Amino acid sequence: MILRRFTEADAPALFALSQEAGIRAWIPDQVYDDEAHALRVAQYLIAQYGKSLPEAPFVLGVCVGDELVGHVGLSAAGDDIEIGYAIGDAHVGKGLATQAVRAMLAQAALPTVVGIVASDNAGSCRVLEKAGFTLSGETTRPLHGVTRSVRTYRYRTST
């Protein structure tokens, strides 16, 4: 597994990933209408490289070999920095999301990061727990355009 910056050539893979069941279920606001929509998203993410958190998100592609299989990124969430991630259905359950989250945390070297996930998304909850996050709260609120039970996890670096 490697993390790399997006390119415009990733638009077809981004579109295909956005159509998968896992993305549709858990992050429906990242389902794209067509490849042109995915290209606009890729162009936006590319334009953010070189800018600083929290003003701009920092999102990388997750690859196995040359295949783009997901993404991991950091973005502002109120006063916090949130980690977000997704792995294509064919690669779920192989530890890639946990590896990607750990790699992003190591690269970012932030003192605190939050993970915000649907409470019913057991796989995503396990990813955060395996990566060293601890549960800090649960509430009902909108998440990715859907009101649902949401868990907030917090990661703190050792000092």
Total structural domains in the chain? 1
> pLDDT tens, 57-67?
999 999 999 99
Query: What percent of the chain is predicted at pLDDT more than 70?
Result: 99
Average pLDDT over residues 71-94: 94
The one-letter amino acid at 79: D
Model confidence at 105, pLDDT cuts 50, 70, 90, reads very high
Q: Which pLDDT belongs to residue 3?
A: 97
Show contacts of 28-37: CB within 8 Å, 24+ apart: 28/144, 28/145, 28/146, 29/144, 29/145, 30/86, 30/144, 35/11, 36/11
Range of the domain at 94: 2-156
Q: Which pLDDT belongs to residue 145?
A: 83
Q: Which pLDDT belongs to residue 140?
A: 94
The mean-pLDDT minimum among 31-35, 68-72, 136-140, 155-159 falls in: 155-159
* CATH number for position 26: 3.40.630.30
Model confidence at 109, pLDDT cuts 50, 70, 90, reads confident
- The span from the CA of 47 to the CA of 56, in Å, is 9
Average pLDDT over residues 77-97: 94
Q: Which pLDDT belongs to residue 38?
A: 97
| DSSP H/E element including 15 | helix 11-18
- The span from the CA of 149 to the CA of 83, in Å, is 18
The one-letter amino acid at 148: R
pTM: 0.92
> pLDDT tens, 9-60?
999 999 999 999 988 889 888 999 999 999 999 999 999 999 998 899 999 9
Q: Which pLDDT belongs to residue 158?
A: 66
- The span from the CA of 8 to the CA of 137, in Å, is 38
> pLDDT tens, 117-143?
999 999 999 999 999 999 999 999 988
